[in-house]
Chain A
Amino acid sequence: MTAPPDDCLARNEWICGAYLTSRRQILWNAVLEHLELTFFAVLLGVLIAVPLALAARRWSWLGAPVLGITTVLYTIPSLAMFSLLLPLYGLSASLVVAGLVLYSLTLLVRNILAGLRAVPEDTRQAARGLGYGPLRLLLAVEVPLALPAAMAGLRIATVSAVSLVTVGAIVGHGGLGNLIYAGMNTFFKAQVLTASVLCVLIAVLADLLLLGLQRLLTPWTRAARA
């Protein structure tokens, strides 16, 4: 009979290099699932939020109910939101994505609408005077001017989604949240800490990536500040 190994895994330490090397594949898969869930949730959120915001901008009576409903959705705690979707989606990854989409809608619609509403009327008039049709006015004038506010909303929605994915562990599709949940039940400190740190890292990197994208898309905001 051999003596039990005396490494950081056996001692259940918070920071453990042996954990990283021996569980590399598990961690990588969890990170991939985490990124996938976040990406699809935010993408779907944008695809739904843009037409909603445009419609609310076009027909002003639509503005109050759209903002009201999305705010109500945002008030519902994440665990309850996922649970309410359980009869519709079962224990699936779609449930987590659907829940995250509903959360991102509030942030996205509100910010896109604020951006569109902040376009000065003079600018719009000037574009019309230059012979811009409604579609060209939207694409060439209003969208670029609304972009900084919309991107701010997108960044907040993305960072929130990365953190909320972990709650998906309750239905077994929580990306890194699964590792945190399993680590909690087995008191596996290294796993909980590593997964948590990776989660924050993903959020920070996604935020920086979107900030970079925003700078690329709106070079004029930099020139104005300098």
Chain B
Amino acid sequence: MNTLSAAWSWLTSAAHWSGPDGVWHRLGEHLFLTVVCLALSCAVALPVALVLGHLGKGGALAVNVSNAGRAVPTFAVLVLLLLTPIGTYGDWPTIIALVLFAIPPLLTNAYVGMRGVDGDVVQAARGMGMTGSQLLRRVEVPLALPLILTGVRIAAVQLVATATLAALVGGGGLGRIITAGFNLADTPQVVAGAVLVAVFALLVEAVFEAVRRLGPRWARDGAR
């Protein structure tokens, strides 16, 4: 219990919250990395998944990308990128690794959502004279939205986790508090950093859950 009370006093000491190594700065970095990389990976993955799902092609790709994403260790990719020439450009290895690991859940869920749209509904929309792009925007995407949003939620949680690991290769974010604690052999600081990361990850999950519950009913069904 000693470690826990020491971790608590670490967390409650104001000195640890300010400055360039302080919690607020690291939290800002973590949030920035998560939001920017979520936007980037959505911009890359969602159009591809929606078009493939609309055309009904590339199902094997959408599924295999997910499996590959699970088999390749995040830590290995972070280190590999760091040792390539990209590694000399500040945050770029981190950002690229984050985007790479956020793409699989986005791609797979959006694709599965698009393919799960009832064939009769698609037929009816075509019968009403809708063009391909009208069908995509006004029928398929709205109906696939619950699963697309599930993919975004999983990607966001994944991003928080990967951004934490980025601290191991010198990236910013809350993980730095943990790695600094390990380097100092300061267990209370390690635990305090871990608590901050865990709370942050759970808050991100909670925000998505709240959005889902407050959203319109049709966007809610089928999620989870």
Contacts and interface: CB of A to CB of B under 8 A. Distances in A.
A84 interface: yes
A77 interface: yes
A167 to B, nearest CB: 6
Contact of B179 (A84, A170, A180): A170
Given A75-B202, A80-B198, A83-B193, A200 B72 contact: yes
B178 interface: yes
Contacts of B193: 80, 83
Contact of A87 (B75, B182, B187): B187
B205 interface: yes
Contacts of B195: 80, 84
Interface in A184-221: 184, 187, 189, 192-193, 195-196, 199-200, 203-204, 207
Given A77-B165, A78-B161, A180 B79 contact: yes
B79 A87 contact: no
A196 B23 CA distance: 32
B202 A163 contact: no
A101 interface: no
A199 B74 CA distance: 11
Choose among A77, A162, A177, A189 the residue with the greatest number of B CB atoms under 10 Å from its CB.
A77
B80 A193 contact: yes
Contact of A72 (B165, B179, B202): B202
Interface in B32-77: 67, 70-77
Interface stretch (B102-110, B123-131, B167-175): B167-175
A78 B158 CA distance: 10
Interface in B64-115: 67, 70-77, 79-80, 82-83
A106 interface: no
B139 interface: no
Contacts of A164: 73
Contacts of A184: 79, 82-83, 169
B31 interface: no
B148 interface: no
A129 B198 CA distance: 50
B70 A195 contact: no
B201 A196 contact: no
Given A83-B191, A192-B76, A199-B76, A159 B70 contact: yes
B192 to A, nearest CB: 9
B122 to A, nearest CB: 27
B155 interface: no
A159 B71 contact: yes
B134 interface: no
A80 B164 contact: yes
Choose among B77, B80, B167 the residue with the greatest number of A CB atoms under 10 Å from its CB.
B80
A163 B205 contact: no
Nearest to B76: A196
Choose among A87, A159, A189, A196 the residue with the greatest number of B CB atoms under 10 Å from its CB.
A87
A77 B71 contact: no
For the complex of A and B, the 3 pairs showing the least CB-CB separation, nearest first, are A83-B194, A77-B161, A196-B76
Interface of A: 72, 75-81, 83-84, 86-87, 156, 159-160, 162-164, 166-167, 169-170, 177, 180-181, 183-184, 187, 189, 192-193, 195-196, 199-200, 203-204, 207
Given A78-B164, A181-B75, 8 more contacts: A79-B165, A80-B201, A170-B182, A183-B79, A184-B83, A193-B80, A196-B76, A196-B79
